[in-house]
Amino acid sequence: MMNSLKDLRLKILKFNEAYEKGSPIVDDFVYDFYKKKLEILEQNEKIKISENVGSKALEPSSHLFPILSLNHDFGKNSIDGFIKKIEKQIDPFPMVAELKIDGVSVIATYENQKIICLKTRGNGFLGENISHLIPFLNIPNKIYLTEHLEIRFEAYFNKKEFENPRNAAAGILMKKNPDSKLALLNFAPHNLYSNSLIWNSYIQLREIFYKMHLNCIEPYKVCYNIQDCYQYFEEINLLKNNLSHEIDGVVFKVDSKEKQNVLGSTAKAPKFAFAIKFSNSFNISEITQIDFQVGRLGKITPVATLTPTFINNRSISKATLNNLNDLMKKNFAIGDIVKIEMAGEVIPKITEIIEKSNNLTQIPVLCPSCNTKLIEDFCPNSWNCFQQKLNRLIYFANKNGLNIKNLGEAQIQFFVKENILNYPFDFFMLKQNIYNISYTPNWLAEKSFAKIIESVEKSKYCTLEQFIVSIGLPNIAKTKAKEINLKFKSLENFLNANIKSLKFLGEKNAQSVFEYKEKEKFWINKTFEFLKTDKKYEKVSLFNFE
């Protein structure tokens, strides 16, 4: 554990130092992942390294007050958790919400109305002195306040100036020799530090900034309840791509200075403010486990269990690794740090290894369900493989198939284990075979089973199209099933069809459908004998089991 903490600390220090020198070596989302991992690893440690992680300023200059970072999370739903923490001590409202500009923090020191120093944030206590750049920057040299104070600015370029505005801003501020593009930097003020009581609320502070002719962050919103917070976040999420500058979220701050003082700060972040970042269509996670699942047609699919992460406001903890060949080719393993993206905005997919572990993944040669030797990445054991059988029966009964209600996956699995469900036609003999079970679980009371039987009886009155979907033909869903129904008119005609007459499905599909129906004719025919596709459903008695 200690080695992990030490390695992680050194890694983050390396990231910080590169960033402060103007040459970031990782993206924000990669940095956020490692920082969060460090915090989790040291939860039980007395000395929390993450609270002091920061780069060392090359030419140190101390700040008047610690320049803290903000605690943050992703997505609108995270707002609630932060608000509840604050509510344990005070009523947080009103709060001020404003854009989280994706720039670089710089701190300007003023005394007797004049700027006397400009520093980077550094490690929050010491920053690097970059005062030599002041003449080349559009930062106020004089203000109307006479107190000794510091103003924290976010320095940023507009999107049109650079492909990566934030990295460009960090890089140009670290150059020893002034660059002509320094004049293009914008400076947005978002805090003022002083031993004098200059402001009583954040709204008042913004008015002070306006009076100094500083470009405050716009638009902002005063939130009087959590619904106001949600609304502003959603509005900005829609607006963000139309802004001239990069933002990566929204900052929420308790307005009252008195309440801020009551809440105080931790060693690394204020308790009265937090940032909610926008969920990306990708994120970074770590593979913690790799399992091998058996599909209903026998395909072996490796599935990665991940450290939970959010993508598009969804919690993601699993991702398929496609197939065994892809797994071997890309060499995924437990401990890999990976990039997760959403394929078609629906399915989590690992697209890149950010950092490779030293672990190896053992590729199975036997089916993980029935121990049959695999043929490439398929189990050939069909209905004798428990997992294949279970998945086929679940598919047959689900809403896209015969839609047998009141019969979920857990119930189907019980009946399979009790050996009274082996093929789809066994659904229609549950009423007779129920007496063969070895024990009666709590959910299998008389009334519950009666509802199952009613659903089974009702499912008999289906269309041929529904039945064609339910039998699980490869790559045949509703649209293709409708085409099969229109072409062949009856199940008998379809089961007797040759490859040539199936060509309308596409050459590859025709071959796989033909092979499947030939192999599965026995149970398909027997199941169809129970159906009443040409009759109207008549309600059965719920309790007539004799």
CB burial readout 298-313, b (16+ within 10 A) else e: bebbbebbbbebbbbe
Cβ neighbours of residue 301 under 8 Å, at least 6 residues apart? Answer: 292, 293, 294, 295, 320, 321, 322, 323
Do residues 311 and 57 make contact, with C-beta atoms less than 8 angstroms apart? no
Residue 397 DSSP code? H
3-class state of residue 489 by DSSP? coil
C-alpha dist (Å) from residue 214 to 64, 180, 217 = 21, 22, 9
Which is the catalytic residue, given 100, 253, 277, 517?
A: 100
**Residue 134 C-alpha from the chain's centroid:** 42
C-alpha–C-alpha distance, residues 94 and 394, integer Å: 52
Tokens representing 404?
Answer: 């047998």
C-alpha–C-alpha distance, residues 113 and 145, integer Å: 5
C-alpha–C-alpha distance, residues 284 and 297, integer Å: 32
Do residues 272 and 263 make contact, with C-beta atoms less than 8 angstroms apart? yes
Of the candidates 173, 165, 214, the residue with the CA atom closest to the CA atom of residue 191: 214
C-alpha–C-alpha distance, residues 216 and 198, integer Å: 17
Of the candidates 379, 362, 361, the residue with the CA atom closest to the CA atom of residue 371: 379
| DSSP annotation string for 94-134 | SEEEEEEE-SEEEEEEEETTEEEEEEE-TTSSEEEB-GGGG
Q: 194: buried, middle or exposed (CB in 10 Å: 19+, 13-18, 0-12)?
A: middle
Stated as kind and residue range, the H or E segment containing 263 is: helix 257-263
Active site residue 100: yes
Q: At what angle do helices 226-239 and 79-87 cross, to 10 degrees?
A: 150
- Distance between first and last Cα of the chain: 64
Sign of the four-CA dihedral 359, 365, 370, 376:
positive
**Residue 223 C-alpha from the chain's centroid:** 27
Sign of the four-CA dihedral 163, 283, 279, 35:
negative
Tokens representing 369?
Answer: 């369900």
Q: Which residues are catalytic?
A: 100
